[in-house]
Structure 1
Amino acid sequence: MAPRLQRQIKVFMLMMVSLCAGAQTSADSTLAVFEQWMARHGRIYMNNLEKAKRYEIFLKSFRFIENFNKEGNRSYRVGLNQFSDLTTEEFKARYTGFQAMSKSSKSSTATTFKYQNATEVQYVSPPESANWVDKGVVGDVKDQGDGCGSCWAFSAVGAVESLLAIKKSVFADLSEQQLVDCDKANKGCKGGRMERAFDYISRHGIAYEKDYPYKNGQGNCNETAASASVTKIDDYYSIPVNERWIERSVSQQPVSVAVDGDSDDFKYYKGGIFSGPCGKKLSHAVLIVGYGRSDSDGKNYWLIKNSWGQQWGEKGYMRLQRSTGTYGGICGIELSASHPYLN
């Protein structure tokens, strides 16, 4: 018998003994937490062996969170959420989806990235803080769901929604599904990039969410719904790897970025200013909707909007440390920044 299966059966037997004996042990207490977590997140497993497997993963998550929060001297905290019974590999496959550029893909893509620089736009010093959520031009936090790596579409659509609200006072809920199904420069649920999405929207436009609703999966392009696209953008820009240039752009509109979002720390983020640890292997797309400085500890931060629902982080948002002096920023947030453009 495989060692992993033996371990799962052992965990299952311990679960059953704990329940039957009614002992007030630490394991029994953790099992009760697991049962409450299952009820809260609507988890129903196909059999007890699968439940034992998920309980084993949950225990590791629970212990990590408990130990992390006990350490103190942290600028952020972590907590249980909808990802607590998933392995790192499962989480990455189901809930991320940013497609990092390789040397070969740079030459093969049909999209030519357009870089914003001082010859195109006169540089002005950005304000000390910006918050587009407070200004009412950021749409509701959405949930990309389980099993579709469509974060790139949510980041791009969120940027376009905010740009329309800022430039034209049009508050529109636009379709991520159209990008997932119809944007052939990207790979739908298997991942994509926001620049390519912006290029698609500039050429084809994008429909309302109500006319082309999200399905948490990829299908054939609905040509009828796509042809009823309600808005286009004029162009897009990719921002150089420079914190001040990104600040300047965010002071004018929300900006799409990618981050290394695979770590347990990032996955279980609950609140505060996230300071890592994380690498710079970009895997997940989000939207910077502001920046500022914490009153409590003086740390500078980016305010990012995620696509994992409102139960993650600070009601779907994260404050990620800014001005660290490291190339690319925390989690590589400065390495792949872009935004749509509209006259």
Structure 2
Amino acid sequence: MASSSKPFLGLLLSITCLMQLLMAAAADPPPERPCEKKSDREMRYMFSQWMAKYAKQYSCPEEEEKRYQVWKDNTDFIGGFASQTEISSGVGAFAPQTITDSFVGMNRFGDLNSDEFVQQFTGFNSTGFRAPLPTPIPPQHSWLPCCVDWRSTGAVTGVKFQGSCASCWAFAAAAAIEGLHRIKTGELVSLSEQVMVDCDTGSNGCGGGRSDTALGLLASRGGVTSEERYPYTGVRGGCDVGKLLSGHSASVSGFAAVPPNDERQLALAVARQPVTVYIDASAPKFQFYKGGVYRGPCAAGRVNHAVTIVGYCENIGGDKYWIAKNSWSSDWGDQGYVYLAKDVWWPQGTCGLATSPFYPTA
């Protein structure tokens, strides 16, 4: 009899233990899952690494937390494009290739929302803007090569960084003059953006400006001094008139406007030299552009940023794109460049690039 009761007692004990476990589970909340806590730790660690990479410092813990939340939102946005195929490195190496649609990645602008980014890092000021009369390229110069890249001929200086001064217009103008000077003389010189920021009264320094007024100013003075002689500070200072008037490292006699909304005329101009253009750079996808052919989104009928077109390519059976040098450092985009879709069906071009192109003359 005693031996037959042992299985029954064992079963009873098992049922009792099971009931106690169930009651305990019902009474206590479930513990946090280790993976959720780890994910938050990982995100904050990634943010700290990002801060260290770009030497980011914030005024107080509250501001740092605010920037962390913006950075996390931007990281989530970038993650939405993770499935896109990245391009090969050939484009950045100046080799014409068929490349894919654009993709995005984290960069130094990760702690800024779209409005903050546009306010701090664009800079085209349309106030009072009236484009000069265009200068069509003569018919005898109408032959176009399939690909042009002024970087490969040594006519483009390294990518620069405008900082949070809204001076893209000065950088676009300087890059166009640097290219022309190299083509004319064989000498590549990094030219001063600061002289335009300080001295161009038709613009507003770090409050925004226009490449055409900057080119007009330098043409009226006969040229522009070097970056070495008049270095960039990222803030508007008093104009050094002596350096504006003399000691020029590159001559400028005037500037011309490409006929607007005509990508063929723009290509004819770019085949001869780098050209400044105005574009819309307000989309988050543009803020975090990392490579590929950018096709949009863009704001219709609005431009807010200046870049320099330093080439284009029309691959047979592949993508057509403009090569635009930006002034947001080589960390942004494809080594500092953006490839904008060429010969689109709307006349203004991708992000309005064909609306108001200009090039210097010497």
TM range (shorter): 0.7 to 0.9
Q: Which has more radius of gyration?
A: 2
Corresponding residue to 2:308 among 269, 287, 294: 287
Output the CA distance in 2 between the equivalents of 1:291 and 1:196.
Answer: 25
Could you say which residue in structure 1 is the equivalent of 2:351? 331
Match of 1:80 among 106, 109, 118: 106
Contact persistence 2:181–2:251 (CA under 8 A)? no
For the 8 Å contact 1:250–1:289, the answer to whether it is kept is yes
1:216 aligns with 2:216: no
TM-score with structure 1 setting the length: 0.86
State how 1:138-157 maps to structure 2 within 5 Å. Answer: 138-146=156-164, 148-157=165-174
Correspondence for 1:189: 206
Residue type of the alignment partner of 1:32: Y
Deviation at 1:123, TM superposition (A): 4.4
Counterpart check, 1:318 vs 2:344: no
**Structure 1, unaligned runs of 5 or more:** 1-17
- The count of corresponding residues between Structure 1 and Structure 2 is 313
Cα-to-partner distance string for 1:249-282 (whole Å, 9 max, x where unaligned): 0011000001100111111011111111112410
Cα displacement (A) at 1:27:
2.1
Match of 2:59 in 1: 46
Q: Counterparts in 2 of 1:64-143, with a 5 A limit?
A: 64-70=77-83, 75-100=101-126, 105-106=128-129, 113-117=132-136, 122-143=140-161
Cα 1:279/1:122, change in 2 over 3 Å: farther
Structure 2 portions without partners, runs of 5+: 1-31, 87-99
Q: Distance in 1 between matches of 2:182 and 2:85?
A: 41
The yes-or-no answer on 1:198 pairing with 2:215 is yes
Note closer, same or farther for the CA distance 1:106–1:22 as it changes in structure 2 (3 Å cut).
closer
Match of 1:4 in 2: none
Distance in 2 separating the partners of 1:24 and 1:135: 53
CA deviation after TM superposition for structure 1 residue 228, in Å: 2.7
* Distance apart, 1:72 and its partner CA: 6.1
Q: Give 1:121 deviation, angstroms.
A: 6.6
Distance in 2 of aligned mates of 1:193 and 1:185: 8
Identify the match of residue 325 of structure 2 among 305, 308, 314.
Answer: 305
Contact 1:212 1:226 in 2 (8 A): no
Tell me by how many angstroms 1:100 deviates.
2.4
With over 3 angstroms needed to count, the CA separation of the structure-2 counterparts of 1:131 and 1:337, relative to structure 1, is: same
Q: In the TM superposition, what is the alpha-carbon distance from 1:58 to its structure 2 partner?
A: 0.4
String of CA shifts for 1:86-144, please: whole Å, max 9, x gaps: 1212111111101225xxx247xxxx7141125x6744131111000011111111100
Percent sequence identity over aligned pairs:
35
- Matched residues in 2 for 1:114 and 1:161: separation? 24
Which residue of 263, 268, 288 maps to 1:248?
268
Supply the AA of the counterpart residue of 2:80.
N
Q: For 2:233 and 2:252, how far apart are their aligned partners in 1?
A: 24
Change in CA separation of 1:227 and 1:235 when aligned onto 2, cut-off 3 Å: closer
Q: What is the CA RMSD across the aligned residues, in angstroms?
A: 2.1
